[in-house]
Structure 1
Amino acid sequence: MENTVRNKQVILRDYVKGYPKESDLMIITASDRVELKVKPGSMVVLVKNLYFSCDPYMGILMKEPNPSTFTLLDAFVPGKPISGFGVSEVIDSDDPAFAKGDFVWGMVDWEKYSTINPIGSFKIDININVPLSYYTGMLGMTGLTAYAGFFEICSPKKGETLVGQFAKLMGCYVVGSAGCKQKVDLLVNKFGFDGAFNYKEEPDLDASLRRCLPQGIDIYFENVGGKILDSVLMNMKSYGRIAVCGMISQYHLETKEGIQNLPLVIYKKIRMQGFVALDFIDKFPNFLEFVLPYIKERKLIYVEDIVEGIENGPAALVGLVHGQNVGKQVLKIARE
């Protein structure tokens, strides 16, 4: 085995304006070779990256930092690799908590090999018989986001009207929306939602929600924003709850859409709370304890859209921004 390797990386060319394009990213082979050993006393971990998670928030980080916009993560730097959540194999370690051959998930640069600070990385229990790629989504930050928003913020009750597979497991009536017929069919026929509609084909979103949810909405899991949020507010019940983890429709607009119905938060006494999964990282053990039995019993359905090869990273990420994926978008860059 070689002592050093060449490292292939996905680099941001320059700050992005509007929607990102594949040409905003480039694949390079770094001039410096990567040592396959870490220095004693460094307390770092060297990993070979296997899977990267493609997530909508990454498009925000491609923009020039704006002092008025607060993010928990630093913006990407032109000329440097972009980063995100990934699954990796430990090649060498100077941290006693991680050993060669361990599998971990956490934040890594989009490159074949990374040297990481183990704080914030989680060891994967290989005795849990699920694909490693699940830790980019269902068993990683995506799953924790759903769990925390649903249980920690929205406090669901059986029989309430809301969105998501967790909601179905808790006995709730569930309606979803998607941007194409294939995804609408997936929500109803595979995920078991009680109803779904294509928001791109509905001329009146308010009427669509009244048709699908005539009794009103108890809980709304918000990650779209804009016109859909405005219509949802019109259809919320009194004392409804809205968990806000994203506003995907607004990320790449030069002029953000205004929300006309926000006063209804007061009149209907709606609780609306923004959050990110990292706010609830201490709940991760509880999340695994809850979700793993349902996965083993096949009561939770998970769909992945896996693209292979780091050279296809720009296409996978930009395709996600434009809604071309069906299921969790994952980039596979190495064999397990």
Structure 2
Amino acid sequence: MGESEPCSRKLKVMGERGWDGDWDGDGVLRETLLFCAWKPTDTEGHFKVDLHTLNLETREISPALITMPPEVGDGFSAVVCRNHVYVLGGGGSMDRRSPDWGTGQDHVFCFDSDHPDHGWKQAPPMSVPRWNPTVVAAEAQGKIYAFMGSLQFGDVFDVGRSCWKLLSPPPDVDLDTLYLSPLLHYDSPRSRILCHFQTYDFRGNFPLYAYYVDSESWECLSENFGTWPLGSVLVDGLLYRLLCSDGDKGVSSFSDHSCPLEAYDVVENKWLPVNWSSRFPLLEVPSYSDIYHLGNDHFCLAWGNTLDGYFNYTKISISVHDNSGEIHATLLSESDSIISVPFPEEATCLFTCLK
């Protein structure tokens, strides 16, 4: 595979440097994930959310890097843009018994990883309050997009101008019958955001759209792309996802005889054949797993388990055969395929890594 696209994944998988300049002796950054941990502060139902990093080589979770601002409640979303972490929306309280829990908020907070000692700063609020919005960053244009979580479809934040503007959905999409799925990626070389819609009953058509950020226009790439599970990543024009074989329910269902990955070429708009060339512990990987790009042809499948208090991951290699276009996937380590790391102390829930 070629060089990965430089977008808002620098902190999700630190693409240039760690929080403390954590380079190894060869000048290569140790593979690191940034994630949120949900922790109780008392016995009265109050919580806080801390940011941590997980070093995939040493299998160590860092102490809390910083705590979310107290104004950020449950149902917030986070995104990384130009080495800044933005936290958007959410409820009015971390206390689920509070009367304003679950009521969307318009506030936005920003954390500069280059100057962690500066802490969180408040950014201009969104145009409307949003609860658990779906967010993505177009780093080249310096814009952050927040979709759904409100009766208003979308909102776009211009980082340079520090202002928000409402964004309309595709003109032929009926939001009364469709909702935006977890498939939301910034396709950097083509300056567009890939948006996938599903029906609430997982039946009917599931269109895939592209929103071109420069012309502010929509294009339908596929009228019936199929259902979409949680885990997906876009690299070099190829969209990889964890296999969703139980299409009626929209969840992953692995078996010992199926490949856990599918690949879609978003430039040619076609599915590509995938060859899984090594044994994979399919039944041990849950449907809510996510996939992350670590650089070059290295990827990581990761998931948290709130029942046993462990964060699990396995590293894989994905390459494209030059002649046939076939995708080849294999485990990077046959002897230690799934690695389990205990949650940070007192954490009751480990959020997925930041997008």
- Say whether the fold is shared (TM-score over 0.5): no
- Scaled by the length of structure 2, the TM-score of the pair is 0.28
More strand by share: 2
More helix by share: 1
Larger radius of gyration: 1
- Scaled by the length of structure 1, the TM-score of the pair is 0.29
